[in-house]
Structure 1
Amino acid sequence: MWIVPETAIADLMTPEAAFDAVEQVFAAMSRGDARNFPVIREAIGHADAIYGFKSGFDRAGLNLGLKSGGYWPGNVAKGLTNHQSTVVLFDPDTGRPRALVGGNLLTALRTAAAAAVSVKHLARTDAKVLGIVGAGHQSAFQMRAVAAERGFERVIGWNRDPAKLARLSRTAADLGLPFEAVDLDRLGAEADVIVTVTSSFAQILTSAQVRPGTHLACMGTDTKGKQEVGVSLVSRAAVFTDEVAQAVTIGECQHAVAAGHLDAGAITELGAVINGTAPGRTSAEQVTLFDGTGVGLQDLAVAAAVVDLAMARGVAIEVPF
């Protein structure tokens, strides 16, 4: 079995490689070549942690395995990342364990890549202003990945705690883009692309605040009860997702579906747009929304890619098992 520790990931996996892996997974899912298994996600009753498993099998990439991990809110005080995860890959021909891979950075990269893939295929080509809602650890990854997909001229951002917007300001400066902190009304009125990346359990952005032609990538809602945008905004938009079953149960769509304002049959897999079997944006005035719930197949794809790179560079650790 091969081990690729968390400390080795940054030198192996690039945002570009993560983008390619995630885009291919979306396409494979829509073709029926890859399937996610049911998600397990539970509060464990200790350390206020939420823990779970995401797993699946990609016949096209021959990736079989799972990601185990979750959210420990007290980790920052311990000098650790709140989100902790590890990916285990298995040989699909024998069931033998193939690799154990650090999943923290990979999760951040694949989540950002999913938003970027949605921007590539759904946002207006003339998008110039990028809006970010949320300024946590994931927000910088989102900005870097999404900014690569359009010729953005500036970035605007909002966070409940304005002091944390310094992270977005630094990231924008690294990208050579001006940054401005704004209120939600301005953000919705000025942004051509909006990425929401929070852990909110109540709507933050409403339909009235979002102008026609906007593309939204809602990346924070991955648990029953979470919510970043209003039901009226979801029902107004052309809605796309990574996996419909997750979107209607733990994703941003869960509230609109439960309220009867959105039918699951009206949600389009992003992979179908990539494969050309379903339309994406149909007009410059249309509001498009990507409900990024995060699927296990994305984790397996980026983990498999990093194992191949680690083996090729001689940095993977082989252990008998």
Structure 2
Amino acid sequence: MIIVPEKEIGALLGRKESYEAIEQVFAAMASGNAYNFPVVREAIGHADALYGFKGGFDQAGMTLGLKAGGYWPNNLETHGLINHQSTVFLFDPDTGRVKAVVGGNLLTALRTAAASSVSINYLARKDAKVIGMVGAGHQAKFQLRAALEQRNFEKVIGWNLHPEMLPNLEEVAAEAGLPFEAVELSGMTEADVIITITSSFAPTLMSDHVSDGTHIACMGTDTIGKQEVGVDLIARASVFADEIAQSITLGECQHAIANGSKAEADIRQVGEVINSTHQGRTSDDEVTLFDGTGVGLQDLAVASAVVDLAVEQGIAIKVDF
């Protein structure tokens, strides 16, 4: 069995490798060569934590496994740890024996950012110049860094419920040599691409905050009851998802499905666009939206990539098990 500790992952896996792994697994999902298992996600009744499992099997990449972990909202304040904690377990699909154990915290941040980055590459207008961020927490910095690589952006704008966190976005914009402006939600109409990355249970970004031709990547809704954008925006947009089943049950589309403003048949997998079996954006005026719920196969894809890199570079810890 191979162990790749959390502390080693930052030196092994970057945005490029993460993007390639997520692009490939989305394509495999859309072609029917990879599938996710049902998600288990529960409040454990201790430390206000949500804990669960996401897993799947990618027959194209021969990757089998699961990610175990969740969200401990008091970690940072109480323990000096990030609130999201997880570990990925990979198994040999031929024998069922455990193959690897990989730290999952940085991997989760990288794969989530890579997913929105893939959606921007395939769905945003080619001439997109302004990127808007709704949310400015820990994950927002990963999102923005990855997104800025997909278009020749000239400006970053941002909104956060707690404005004191907006310097996180300004820092990343400065790294890229771009100006940053804090705006009200109504100011998001300036954006050509918008990423929402919050843990909200009530919508903040509404349809009238979004201009025609915008691409929105909704990355924060992964639990029943969560909601970042209004159902009016979902109804208006052409919607693509990482996985449709999750999108309609625990993703951003759950609310539009519930009130009948969107039908399951209206939602397509982003992997179809990658595979060229769906054309994706059809005009410069079309509003496109990616519902990134976060699927287990994403975690397995980046974990498998980091295991290969760890073995190649002699960093992998090998133990008998």
TM-score by length of 2: 0.99
Q: How does 1:71-90 map to 2 (within 5 A)?
A: 71-77=71-77, 78-90=79-91
| Secondary structure at the counterpart of residue 28 of structure 1 | helix
Is 1:162 the counterpart of 2:179 in the alignment? no
Shift of 1:175: 1.3
Q: Deviations over 1:239-289 (max 9, x none)?
A: 000000000000000000000110001101000111011120000000000
| Secondary structure at the counterpart of residue 145 of structure 1 | helix
Quote the residue 1:106 is aligned against.
Answer: 107
Identity %: 65
Quote the residue 1:201 is aligned against.
Answer: 201
Tell me, in whole angstroms, the C-alpha distance in 1 between the residues paired with 2:142 and 2:22: 15
Q: Any gaps of 5 or more consecutive residues in structure 2?
A: none
**Match of 1:131, as an amino acid?**
G
Is 1:49 the counterpart of 2:63 in the alignment? no
| Secondary structure at the counterpart of residue 11 of structure 1 | helix
Quote the residue 2:221 is aligned against.
Answer: 221
Tell me, in whole angstroms, the C-alpha distance in 1 between the residues paired with 2:235 and 2:221: 16
**Match of 1:27, as an amino acid?**
A
Is 1:2 the counterpart of 2:8 in the alignment? no
Is 1:70 the counterpart of 2:60 in the alignment? no
Q: How does 1:284-303 map to 2 (within 5 A)?
A: 284-303=284-303
**Match of 2:292, as an amino acid?**
G
| Secondary structure at the counterpart of residue 304 of structure 2 | helix
Quote the residue 1:29 is aligned against.
Answer: 29
Tell me, in whole angstroms, the C-alpha distance in 2 between the residues paired with 1:278 and 1:128: 25
Tell me, in whole angstroms, the C-alpha distance in 2 between the residues paired with 1:36 and 1:236: 28
Tell me, in whole angstroms, the C-alpha distance in 1 between the residues paired with 2:64 and 2:209: 42
Shift of 1:163: 0.5
| Secondary structure at the counterpart of residue 130 of structure 1 | strand
Tell me, in whole angstroms, the C-alpha distance in 1 between the residues paired with 2:208 and 2:148: 25
Tell me, in whole angstroms, the C-alpha distance in 2 between the residues paired with 1:196 and 1:190: 15
Q: How does 1:3-22 map to 2 (within 5 A)?
A: 3-22=3-22
Shift of 1:208: 1.2
Quote the residue 1:121 is aligned against.
Answer: 122
**Match of 1:38, as an amino acid?**
P
Tell me, in whole angstroms, the C-alpha distance in 2 between the residues paired with 1:53 and 1:264: 25
Is 1:240 the counterpart of 2:237 in the alignment? no
Q: Deviations over 1:111-162 (max 9, x none)?
A: 0000000000000000000000001100000000011000000100000110
Tell me, in whole angstroms, the C-alpha distance in 2 between the residues paired with 1:175 and 1:139: 15
Tell me, in whole angstroms, the C-alpha distance in 2 between the residues paired with 1:79 and 1:177: 31
Which 4+ residue blocks in structure 1 deviate beyond 6 angstroms? none
Tell me, in whole angstroms, the C-alpha distance in 2 between the residues paired with 1:175 and 1:93: 45
Q: How does 1:300-315 map to 2 (within 5 A)?
A: 300-315=300-315
TM-score by length of 1: 0.99
Shift of 1:35: 0.4
Shift of 1:209: 1.4
**Match of 1:290, as an amino acid?**
F
Shift of 1:168: 0.6
Over the aligned positions, Cα root-mean-square deviation in angstroms equals 0.5
Quote the residue 2:250 is aligned against.
Answer: 250
Q: Deviations over 1:37-75 (max 9, x none)?
A: 000000000000000000000000000000000000010
| Secondary structure at the counterpart of residue 85 of structure 2 | strand
Tell me, in whole angstroms, the C-alpha distance in 2 between the residues paired with 1:165 and 1:285: 29
**Match of 1:35, as an amino acid?**
Y
**Match of 2:48, as an amino acid?**
D
Shift of 1:177: 1.0
